[in-house]
Amino acid sequence: VYLVVFHLSFVMFVWSYWKTIFTSPASPSNEFCLSKADKEQYEKEERPESQQEILRRAAKDLPIYTTTASRAIRYCDRCQLIKPDRCHHCSACDICVLKMDHHCPWVNNCVGFSNYKFFLLFLMYSLLYCLFVAATVLQYFIKFWTNELPDTHAKFHVLFLFFVAAMFFISILSLFSYHCWLVGKNRSTIETFRAPTFRNGPDKNGFSLGCSKNLREVFGDEKKYWLLPIFTSLGDGCNFPTRLVIMDPEQLTVSSQNEPAKSSGANQSFPPRPLSESQNRLLASDSQWVESGPEEENVKSGSLHHNTSDDS
């Protein structure tokens, strides 16, 4: 039984680790890129308010419900695209990553929409693997302290193995518990330190739909695949349902079935309005935007060590 559990946990650990490392971070589709004409006009403009007008016009048909802290459209000068909600630019990968959580040096990859489930499973199976190793070595560790273990060099190996497994278990347990809390709240690590800004202002719970729905958004609807490192996350990484923060009776009475979906390409379509449990559309009115320059927002918290050069 021990061997079966050992091999099973080791195989799932390696599989999850492999998927976390070699799954490419998902980037925004071409729909979020400026057209050639808009890009040339944007680069020629020197006034920030004129640049924002170009971005606002280009983003009016996109499913974007968050802004910068200064109410400007989130735009990446490096990738030259309008950022979808929860998308951030990673300075290490030098790309915009959909639903970016952080750049992890342990896997040399960005953890985001495409591999967040794999990262969680990697932590879970690492935790189980360390627990199994510590539990199987515990009896020899007790014998070492009671001087019942034969006086051989192997006793130092036992001591080293137990302490390493125990320390990794404690470290991974804290990280795994933190990410479980994030899944329950439907937040990324970046959003924990810098709340997304909606129409009514910053709201750290803006994307939370309840613990059950938040869990399904990451792991999918079919529970039989939850423990397997197979991609089952819901959505496309660009469009996320949000809490109904502002009750707009006019919009709530509009039936989305009477409006055709706006196409973003051959294999993707975006709804013209938010999903049924969503924030009201921010780009519906010109008056919602104020003239402002590019956002220069720095994270004040010293505990945010993730490698990202994103503005918002």
Which stretch of 45-59, 233-247, 279-293 has the lowest confidence by average pLDDT? 279-293
The closest alpha carbon to 125, from 1, 11, 220, 4, belongs to 11
Dig out the tokens for 41 from the structure. 């006009």
The arithmetic mean of pLDDT across residues 15-43, rounded, is: 94
Going by pLDDT thresholds of 50, 70 and 90, the confidence category of residue 51 is very high
pLDDT at 148 over 90: no
Average pLDDT (269-276) is 40
- Quick one: CA dihedral 284, 287, 292, 296, positive or negative? negative
pLDDT at 287 over 70: no
The one catalytic residue in 90, 93, 104, 130 is 104
Whether 104 is catalytic is yes
At 31-41, the pLDDT tens digits run 999 999 999 99
pLDDT of residue 26: 94
Between 280 and 307, where is the model more confident? 307
The 10s digit of each residue's pLDDT in 116-138 is 999 999 999 999 999 988 888 88
Tokens 């591999």 -> residue: 115
Q: 164 pLDDT exceeds 80?
A: yes
Please, what is the average pLDDT of the chain?
80
Any idea where the domains of the chain sit in the sequence? 1-26+113-246
